[in-house]
Amino acid sequence: MGKASLVMVLSFLAIFGSIRYRLGRWETRSAELLSEEYRRTMARNIANSAIYIALRNLREDFSWAPNPNPSDSLPLMEGTYTLQVDSIELTRRRVTAVG
């Protein structure tokens, strides 16, 4: 009776240890995915905000250009963005932002 109880307890420990190990791996992977999604969301929010900044400036002055060098990164919301404004036609502009 004693040996059977010992084997049963050791079996339960092995099973629960294995489950805990797998849960720990899933927790780590979940944290990595959440962090990656946060970075993508922040980049999208920064790019959207940069577009709104450019649209506001273009509404005030249609000949507005972001910088002499459009590849310069500008700081915004704990990140950076680059902004490019291209003339398509006389009365149309294309605004491209990368956050």
Which pLDDT tens digit goes with each residue over 30-78?
889 999 999 999 999 999 999 999 999 999 988 888 876 766 788 888 8
In the chain, the number of structural domains is: 1
Name every residue whose Cβ is closer than 8 Å to that of residue 86 and which is 6 or more positions away in sequence: 93, 94, 96
Q: What is the distance between the alpha carbons of residues 75 and 43, in angstroms, rounded to a whole number?
A: 12
Of the candidates 39, 45, 57, 56, the residue with the CA atom closest to the CA atom of residue 97: 45
Q: What is the distance between the alpha carbons of residues 26 and 38, in angstroms, rounded to a whole number?
A: 18
Write down the pLDDT at residue 1. 67
**Residue 2 CB neighbour total at 10 angstroms:** 6
Domain membership of residue 42 as a residue range: 2-98
Dig out the tokens for 85 from the structure.
């404004």
Mean pLDDT (whole number) for 85-95: 84
In the chain, the amino acid numbered 13 is L
